Amino acid sequence: MFAASSLTESLQDMVTGFEEDNSGVAITLNFAGSQQLRTQLEQGAQADLFASADWTQMNAMMDAGLVAGEAVSFATNRLVVIVPAQNTEINSMADLAQPGIKLVLAQAEVPVGSYSRTAIDNLAASPQYGMEYADQVLGNLVSEETNVRNVAQKVALGEADAGIVYQTDAMTPDIAERVRVIPIPGQFNVIASYRIAALSESTRPDLAGQFIDFVLSDEGEQILAEYGFGPAGSGETW
């Protein structure tokens, strides 16, 4: 299974439960940025399932004829700003525009990187922040990462003053103790929607379908909720 890096812990738990319920089945997980995984699959990498953090990568897979059946939505996520725990200079979204702040984001083609830039643009469109806000914030960008976990690690290690990640990544044990979370106001935030699909080249389409059913089951939803994910859909009531 190829899956977005933000799903690491939740899918590992689901795989454990699925394997316990299906004797003899072993699932190998490959985590990376959704865009990296799509490229690998388009270049011939073999997998049975693909879970993406956005529609863009999944649509490209469907357009290439690599998806069997329909992709289904199974979870949502939100963005947050994280800063090193000892940092006391950044306390709001406005502070990201301060000169000299070292900001790290995921690359623009990475789902979380695209979502982050949309949130910044949303803020800039508000009179509260002003049109120059986006240029000021992105002017502080010192690094663009290939996946969200790299963003979180750079901030946790103190290599950057701030980064934008999914709230689920800020909750992981190795990150949560080393960063401070700054919420992004809901009217400016972006809801990330996760999709999963069986692949047309799957050698075990039956098991791929069964695993998707497990992800969508009450047990799967409970595991996702424990790791901070919201329910599938628009996220408006989450």
CATH 3.10.105.10 assigned to 78-183:
no
CATH number of 2-76+193-226: 3.40.190.10
Domains 2-76+193-226 and 78-183 share a fold: yes
The HSE-up count of residue 101 (CA atoms within 13 Å, CB side) is 29
- Domain borders along the chain are 2-76+193-226, 78-183
Render pLDDT for 197-229 as a digit per residue (tens, 0 to 9): 999 999 999 999 999 999 999 999 999 999 999
The pLDDT of residue 158 is 96
Q: Which residues pair with 90 in a beta bridge?
A: none
Percent of the chain with pLDDT over 70: 98
Residues near 11 by Cβ (< 8 Å), separated by ≥ 6? 1, 3, 29, 31, 51
The HSE-up count of residue 23 (CA atoms within 13 Å, CB side) is 0
The pLDDT of residue 237 is 36
Asked whether 225 and 238 are in contact (CB, 8 A), the reply is no
Reported as type and span, the H/E element at residue 213 is helix 205-216
Asked whether 41 and 60 are in contact (CB, 8 A), the reply is no
Mean pLDDT of 14-32: 95
The pLDDT of residue 20 is 94
